[in-house]
Amino acid sequence: MIWTNAVVQGLLLGGLYAIFACGLSLMFGVMRLVNLAHGDLGVLGAYFSIILVEHLGGNPLWTFAAVIPVAAFVGYFLQRFLLDHALNGGELSPILVTFGISIIIENLLQQTFGANDQSLNIGSLSYQSWKITSDIYVGRLNVIIFVAAVLVIVGLQFFLSKSRTGLALRATADNRRAASLSGINPKRTRAVATAIALATVAVGGLFLAMRTSFSPTSGTSDLLFAFEAVIIGGLGNLWGTLIGGLVLGVAQTIGSQINPADGILIGDLVFLAVLAFRPQGLIASRNLANR
């Protein structure tokens, strides 16, 4: 029974990783940019929420309404004023610039808030749970996060496949030049992609902060988990990213069940195994733009 429980908890945890991963995947798809500051930007959102609650009070849940639009706004202009320049500078420069952003965010947070762990106090929601069987309880917050993850992925998928902007994003992912020849503004499209990516990672950051404690350096592990989810699931495929997140979550909880210190390591090993034996990911994409 403890194994069933580990799988259930792992699936719920995996939802959170999928939220982190989808933005990373989207930005890579649209502009071949791997944002190494992705996790740190999520953590930045969590600290923003802490400040809001400190000054305005209330349950941190309301801060979603403030943090998400701000994150999207930041993403839009981050792309316009910094990342676009990095993309013009050749293959290496986006990696180096986003790594620089990551270092700046982590150390600014450390300087401002100290290195101590923080958490968002959401009251009774943090410990309430539903009983599934006599041995398996699922935290309400964890279920909410999981549902939110599925909604984010479904919403994103729907947006990409149905809306005009989504079409522009897919077209740009498919062939940047052809897209701009047919009247799509590449700068705006890239900025929209980054805005969406930051909005989703802010959701992830806030949920993470409600679920566990976090610190200025938490962004690193969030980035690595998000990346592992993307690769396990398969590049260029949002459903794959969701599956990848779930697989990673289950691997980590089962690993922790074997030995509490082993959770992350088992997750890493599953990732390396996928990389070695199925580099196209568990769900291979038929079409890179089909996301």
Question: Interface with other proteins by CB under 8 A: which residues?
Answer: 28, 32-36, 82, 85-86, 89-104, 106-108, 110-111, 220, 223-224, 227-228, 231, 261, 264-265, 268-269, 271-272, 275-276, 279
Instruction: Identify the DSSP state of 262.
Output: G
Least Å distance, CB 214 to other proteins, is 17
Structure tokens at 201: 């990672």
Q: Report, in Å, the least distance between residue 232 CB and other proteins.
A: 11
Residue 261 corresponds to which tokens in the numbers above? 């210190």
Least CB distance from residue 287 to other proteins, whole Å? 19
Whether 202 and 42 have beta carbons less than 8 Å apart is answered as yes
The total of other beta-carbon atoms located within 10 Å of residue 7's CB is 17
What is the C-alpha to C-alpha distance for residues 35 and 25, in angstroms, rounded to an integer?
A: 10
| Cβ at position 282, least distance to other proteins in Å | 15
93/290 with CB nearer other proteins: 93
Q: What is the DSSP string of 24-68?
A: HHHHHHHH----TTHHHHHHHHHHHHHHHHHHH-S-GGGGHHHHH
Q: Which 8-state DSSP code applies to residue 237?
A: -
Closest CB 4 distance from other proteins, rounded Å? 26
Our CB check for other proteins shows the closer of 69 and 89 to be 89
Nearer to other proteins, 2 or 96 (CB): 96
Distance of CA 32 to CAs 112, 127, 176, 194, 210, Å?
Answer: 33, 40, 10, 12, 31
* Closest CB to other proteins among residues 59, 107: 107
The tokens describing 120, both together, are: 């968002």
* Identity of the residue, 148 or 197, whose beta carbon is nearer to other proteins in the bound complex: 197
Which tokens go with 195? 């805005």
Which C-beta is closer to other proteins: that of 259 or that of 287?
259
Q: How far is the CB of 219 from other proteins (least distance, A)?
A: 11
Strand ranges (E), the chain: 129-131, 137-139
Any idea how long the chain is? 291
Identity of the residue, 36 or 148, whose beta carbon is nearer to other proteins in the bound complex: 36
Centroid of chain to Cα 48 = 17
Q: Provide the minimum distance between the beta carbon of 131 and other proteins in the complex, in angstroms, as a whole number.
A: 34
Q: Quote the tokens at residue 146.
A: 């999981």
